Amino acid sequence: MANGEVIEVESDDGDDDDEGIPVPSRANLITLCQQLEYDCMHYGDPKVSLELSQQLLKFRGILQREELVNSTQTSLDDYFR
């Protein structure tokens, strides 16, 4: 590069690794977090399970906030059609 040569570098975005893997919806992730929180309190080491359960609760809160912010309001007429 000191000689003014251009070196092309392929970017490694990691997009190739995600091919074919379905992306879950926020609603599915919220349900999964609830299930994992419940399971954490019933299985495993109580200290570790409590920490994981607390982190899942925070993550679920973030998902629920995003779900609320990105939701659209519909009228009652839409349900009766």
pLDDT tens profile 15-36: 555 678 888 898 999 999 999 8
State phi, psi for 11 to the nearest 5 degrees.
-80, 145
Query: What residues have CB less than 8 Å from 33, skipping those under 6 apart?
Result: 56, 57, 59, 60, 63
Pick 6 or 70 by higher pLDDT.
70
- In the predicted structure, residue 62 carries a pLDDT above the cut 90: yes
Maximum average pLDDT range among 1-5, 6-10, 32-36:
32-36
Pick 43 or 2 by higher pLDDT.
43
Query: What was the pLDDT predicted at 65?
Result: 93
Distance of CA 42 to the CA centre of its chain: 23
